[in-house]
Amino acid sequence: MENTTEVTWFVLLGLTNDPQLQLPLFITFLLIYIITLVGNLGIILLILLDSRLHTPMYIFLSNLSLVDFCYSSTITPKVMAGFLTGDRIISYNACASQMFFFAHFADVESYLLVSMAYDHYVAVCKPLHYATTMTTHLCVFLVIGCYICGFLNASIYTVDVFSLSFCESNVIHHFFCDVLAVMIISRSDKYINELVLISVASFNIIFSLILILISYMFIFTNILKINSSEGYRKALSTCTSHFTAVFIYYGTVIFMYLQPTSSHSMDTDKIVSVFYSIVIPMLNPLVYSMRNKEVKNAFTKVVLRSR
C-alpha cells in the first residue's frame, strides 16, 4: 500500500453532537445490538442443536446470521462507546481495520444471498433433483467462495482508500470508517480511486442482483404453474423471507454506493448507514424466524427440552 499520509488518527463526528441525545441514542443502539446478538446467535444455536435443520438452506442461513453478527459488531460497540464517553477518536490502523472487516462481511452477505437464491431455485424448480444437486460439498464450496470473494473485495476497497493522502483533514463526517466518508476527506486526486470503487462495487452489486433476479424469475414462473394450493403456499413461503431480505439489503446498498462521492449528502448517508449497518442485522433474524415454521418448531423444542 502506497501511502504518504501524515495522519495517525481520525475523529468520527458521529450521528449528532447534541448532548441531550447521547444517552437516548446509547440506549436505543444498545437495545438494537442486544436484539441483534440474541437473534443471530440464537438462530445459529438452534441450527446446531436441531439435526432437522442440518440442510443446505440452514447452512446458508446460519452463515448469514454469523455475518450479520460480525459486521454489526465491527460498528455498533464503537458507536455506543462514543455516545457514552464522548470519545470519537480512532487510530489510522483501527480505521483501516474497521473499513476492511465491515466491507468484508457486507460483501459476504451479498454473496450468501445469491447462494440462497440458487438454493431456493433448485428447491422450487427442481425438487426431485434437490438432494443430488445441493450436496453438502456444494454448500461448503459456495460458503467458502463467499468468504474468499468478500476478502478480495474488502482488500481492494481498503487499499484503494488508504492509498490516498490525508495530510490536511482527519475529521470523518460519519459514525464509522465507511469507504465513501473516508475517501471524501482526502485532498488527493480521487478520480482513479473513485472509478475503481464504483466499478468494483457496481460489478459485485449488479452481478449479484442479476443472478438473484434470474433465479426468482424462474421461481415465480414455476410457482404460477403449481395447481395445488398447498404446494403454491409452500413454494411461496420458501421464498418470501429471502426476497424480503434481498429487497431491504440491496435497496440500501445501491443508494449508498452506486453514485459519485460528489453527489453524496453525508447527513443522508449517515441515516441510511444506520439502517444498513445496524438495523438490517437485527431485522434478518426476525424476517427468517417469524415466517419459518421449522425455526419456530426448533425453538419450541429447545424451550421444552430446557424445562
What is the full DSSP assignment across 1-62? --------EEEE--S---HHHHHHHHHHHHHHHHHHHHHHHHHHHHHHH-GGG-SHHHHHHH
The upper half-sphere exposure of residue 255, i.e. CA atoms within 13 Å in the direction of its Cβ, equals: 16
Strand 171-172 relative to strand 89-91, pairing: unpaired
270 within domain boundaries: yes
Write down the pLDDT at residue 189: 83
Domains held by the chain: number = 1
> Residue 83: exposed, middle, or buried by beta-carbon count in 10 A (0-12, 13-18, 19+)?
buried
The answer to whether 74 and 276 have CB atoms below 8 angstroms apart is: no
The residue behind cell 454473496 is 111
Q: Which domain holds residue 85?
A: 9-306
100 within domain boundaries: yes
| CATH code: domain of residue 186 | 1.20.1070.10
CA distances from 304 to 48, 62, 124, 292 (A): 17, 22, 32, 19
Alpha helices in the chain (DSSP H): 19-49, 56-73, 76-85, 92-125, 130-133, 136-162, 179-184, 191-224, 229-257, 266-274, 280-290, 293-306
Write down the pLDDT at residue 181: 87
List per-residue pLDDT tens for the chain, 307 residues long: 444 446 788 999 888 888 888 899 999 999 999 999 998 998 898 888 888 888 888 899 899 999 999 989 999 999 999 888 888 899 999 999 999 999 999 999 999 999 999 998 998 888 888 889 999 899 999 999 999 999 999 999 999 999 888 877 788 888 899 888 898 888 888 888 888 888 888 888 888 989 999 998 888 888 777 776 666 676 666 677 777 788 888 877 777 666 555 555 556 677 778 888 888 888 888 877 666 667 767 666 766 666 6
C-alpha–C-alpha distance, residues 80 and 165, integer Å = 29
31 within domain boundaries: yes
Q: Calculate ∠ Cα 240-102-116, nearest 5°.
A: 25
CA distances from 148 to 139, 144, 154, 174 (A): 14, 6, 10, 28
What residue type is assigned to position 272 of the chain?
V
> Residue 278: exposed, middle, or buried by beta-carbon count in 10 A (0-12, 13-18, 19+)?
buried
- For residue 9, the cross-strand partners are 91
96 within domain boundaries: yes
1 within domain boundaries: no
Write down the pLDDT at residue 3: 47
Write down the pLDDT at residue 167: 79
C-alpha–C-alpha distance, residues 273 and 15, integer Å = 10
CA 232 centroid distance within chain? 30
The residue behind cell 449497518 is 277
What residue type is assigned to position 93 of the chain?
N
28 within domain boundaries: yes
Read off the C-alpha cell for 198.
464504483
3 within domain boundaries: no
- Indicate if the alpha-carbon torsion angle 298, 301, 305, 307 is positive or negative: positive
212 within domain boundaries: yes
Write down the pLDDT at residue 239: 74
Query: Considering only CA atoms, which of 158, 159, 194, 186 is closest in space to residue 170?
Result: 186
Write down the pLDDT at residue 292: 66
